[in-house]
Structure 1
């Protein structure tokens, strides 16, 4: 689907407020309610809008330990890689997992209640995965910028 200017306006507004009513969205985007509904529906069907969610404040939800975890595997055969990916995808502490170039193979963004919970995550899960060569943790001291909005 090729995004047109009205689509970009709708996406921008929805990224600000995913709970906006169709009528308010249409008014802000400068179109009729029926045209707005059709365009949003097309964006959903095309997979451009993949979901609607509530964004939570981690610290107010009791998740005060935030780390970036750098993981290096011993080998990159499909067995180790597939197992690592499947297991990491199941862990609620892991918010993001990126496969990257550079020194580490994977970078995880992990949120836990506290240091003890993080230690349990490491010892009870990550260190037990086959093929883990090295794990390095960087503690997040302060979040400077965090957004879920895409530059449309």
Structure 2
């Protein structure tokens, strides 16, 4: 459905505004895009129905909640049978400190972003929650030293 939706410049501007501040009212958006609040409301509903807008949210500072470490963790499975893949998927989804997980190409099967309060807690997480599982064969961790760019906003310009 989302593939057949044609975005115009007003739709793109609405998406841009909402990505930076999803709490804007339809009237505030309308004044910035040169439209009426009712037209903006209809456009936002259409963007939601086309699954271009998939969620609304906010960004929380991990550091302010006590997470001092961000680790990029690569994981390989022992085998790629359906049981191991399902167990791994369920495990990843059950651990809130795993923020993101992607199946990838290359030497490792998956890469994920993991939060930890400190390196000792990360070591416990790795040893007790992952490496204790028979279906995980190896891991490779990279500790993030500095965040150079963090962007949740998807560019709205076409092309």
Deviation at 1:18, TM superposition (A): 0.7
1:23, distance to aligned residue in structure 2 (A)? 0.5
Q: 2:77 aligns with which of 73, 79, 84?
A: 73
Q: 1:60 Cα deviation (Å)?
A: 1.7
- Matched ranges for 1:3-152 at <5 A: 3-152=7-156
> Which TM-score applies when normalising by structure 2?
0.91
> Residues 87-120 of structure 1, C-alpha deviation per residue, up to 9 Å, x if partnerless?
1012111111011100110001001111222122
RMSD: 1.1
CA distance in 2, matches of 1:145, 1:138: 17
What is the distance in 2 between the residues matched to 1:90 and 1:15? 28
Distance 1:47 1:120 in 2: 39
Structure 1 unmatched ranges of 5 or more: none
**TM-score (norm: length of structure 1):** 0.95
Per-residue CA distance 1:21-67 (angstroms, 9 max, x = gap): 11101111111000001101111122211111110111122111110
Mapped to 2, the partners of 1:123 and 1:74 lie a distance apart of 16
Counterpart Cα distance in 2 of 1:149 and 1:130: 38
